[in-house]
Structures are given as C-alpha cells and as structure tokens.
C-alpha cells in the first residue's frame, strides 16, 4: 500500500496544497481521469511520478463531453476502488469536483479548437471535444501542474490537448502515455467492463485488425485503402457496427491516402455489443 492520498473537493483545498508544494520547491504532475480506473490509468500515474515530485489526479465524469445522455448515465463508477488504486500508485492527491461547482447555473465560457476536433471522433460525437478542452482548461487552472500526462489510447484527444496547450501558452509539459492493452490485446478502457463475454471476444477483432494492418505496412503495403480494408475485414462480423476506420496523419489528424512519409495512425471506432470502443495503431515512417 502506498501513501495515504489527500482527497480534495474544492478550489481552496487544492490551492493550499499546491502553494505548500511550491514553497518546498516541489514539482507537480497531473493525471485527469473520469474514474473507474484500470492499469492504463495507473501507468499514467507512474509516468507522471517519473517526471515530477508529486502527482495529483482528478476524477470527474464530465457531462459536457457526453453527447448521449444514456452513455453518461451508464458510465461505470467505483470511487473506493479508484482510491485504493491511486494510493497503491503513491498518488499525492485526488481532486474530485462536483458538476455543480464546475458548471454553475450561469456558465457560458467554452474552449473550442477549429480543425483538430472535426474528423473521426468529432464527426460522430458533436460537441464532445468542446467539453474535453473546456474541462481540461479548468482543471489545469485549478491544479497548475508542471507536467500533465495523457494516454495515446485517446489519440485525437491527446493531439487536441497538445495543440491547446501550445496555442494558449499554458506553462505545462504534456507527456504522452503509451496505450496499454489487456493480455488478449484489447485496449484498456473503463467501458470494457460493460462487454459481455461474447462481445469481448468479438471486440478482439479491433486489435487483431490493427496488428494485421501494421504487419502489412511492415511488409510494404502503403495505401490507406488497403490498410483500412484489412482492419474492416477483421471487424466484419455480427454484433459489430463500424463507425470509422481511417488512416490519418498524426500531427493534423487529416486522412491520408498513403503511409510512410510522415507519422500516421490507424484510427478505429466501433460499437460492439452496444459498447462503443476506440483504438489506434501507430505506423512509424521510414520502415522498409
């Protein structure tokens, strides 16, 4: 068991701890989450600890980034379990604001990006990234970290945060956390708990399809049409609805016709047994 975690529920409590750490010359890392933690989240905590002296986490199921009310209502929650996991990872403090505090009755200020939110997730979840960028801005203003860690599993989100921090001149270093998979290859997600045994078996088609596309890329295949077709083949089974399978340039997230020159990502979203899952795979440039 790690150190006893501080649970902070308001701005004054967070500011008190941050000021004390600053006076002591300590650096602060930050990992924002929506709770129902898994080993992917904990890997981000460990990564933040390697870069800073003390790590703050937050748990806030952000209503502004759910375009489907039923999805918000069904999002899994287990705060006692989350606290135990964070303590085991030696997290210094946990900030748990309420929706009422984050979004008061007169709230009307939003953070929007022009281009990065439009494709992929943005096309299927209108308003989602406006909610993400706004809540992350608020959390950054409260915690004021030196370093914040975001996972590559939500790759479009990661790129949006990187762009926002650069554009708005936040004095924060964004560190990328590698995507973490279950032993069977399924990308770790808080939503996985909602998969039935049958749906989980079918969901493995996502990671298998991405791995097959990477193998084809390593073997010399470069066209987006063929690489995406490989992934779609693995997802063409009953119980799976494909939302998108796309090859995109990492920096701009714009679709490309060929891989190999710039860093690209295979991006996938599919609904399996009623559960929406996303995944991605890097196709590094310069492979022969």
Residue 16, exposed/middle/buried by CB under 10 A (0-12, 13-18, 19+)? Answer: exposed
The rounded distance, in Å, linking the Cα atoms of 220 and 196 is 37
Determine contact, residues 239/199, Cβ cutoff 8 Å: yes
DSSP letter for 40, please. H
Catalytic residue among 41, 120, 128, 234: 41
Q: Are strands 275-283 and 264-272 parallel, antiparallel or unpaired?
A: antiparallel
CA 231/CA 245 separation, integer angstroms:
7
Strand-pair category, 54-59 with 173-177: unpaired
CA distances in angstroms from 141 to 9, 103, 207, listed in the order given: 15, 15, 36
Active site residue 120: no
d(CA 206, CA 49): 31
- Residues with a catalytic annotation lie at 41
């Amino acid at each position: 068991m790690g150190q006893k975690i501080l649970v902070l529920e308001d701005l004054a409590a967070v500011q008190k701890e941050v000021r004390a750490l600053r006076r002591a010359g300590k650096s602060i890392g930050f990992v924002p989450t929506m709770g129902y933690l898994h080993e992917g989240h904990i890997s981000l905590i460990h990564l933040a600890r390697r870069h800073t002296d003390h790590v703050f986490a937050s748990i806030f199921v952000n209503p502004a980034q759910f375009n489907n009310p039923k999805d918000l209502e069904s999002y899994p929650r287990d705060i006692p379990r989350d606290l135990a996991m964070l303590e085991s990872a030696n997290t210094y403090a946990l900030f748990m604001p309420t929706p009422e505090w984050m979004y008061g009755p007169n709230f009307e200020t939003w953070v929007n990006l022009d281009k990065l939110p439009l494709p992929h997730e943005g096309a299927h979840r209108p308003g989602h990234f406006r909610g993400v960028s706004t809540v992350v801005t608020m959390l950054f203003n409260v915690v004021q970290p030196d370093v914040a860690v975001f996972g590559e599993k939500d790759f479009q989100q990661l790129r949006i945060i990187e762009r926002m921090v650069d554009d708005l001149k936040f004095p924060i270093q964004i560190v990328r956390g590698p995507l973490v998979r279950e032993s069977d290859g399924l990308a770790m997600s808080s939503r996985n708990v909602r998969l039935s045994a049958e749906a989980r078996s079918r969901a493995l088609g996502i990671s298998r399809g991405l791995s097959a596309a990477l193998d084809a890329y390593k073997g010399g295949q470069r066209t987006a049409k063929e690489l995406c077709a490989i992934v779609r083949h693995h997802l063409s089974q009953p119980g799976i609805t494909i939302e998108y399978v796309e090859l995109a340039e990492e920096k701009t997230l714009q679709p490309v016709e060929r891989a190999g020159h710039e860093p690209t990502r295979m991006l996938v979203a599919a609904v399996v047994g009623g559960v929406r899952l996303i995944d991605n795979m890097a196709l590094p440039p310069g492979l022969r």
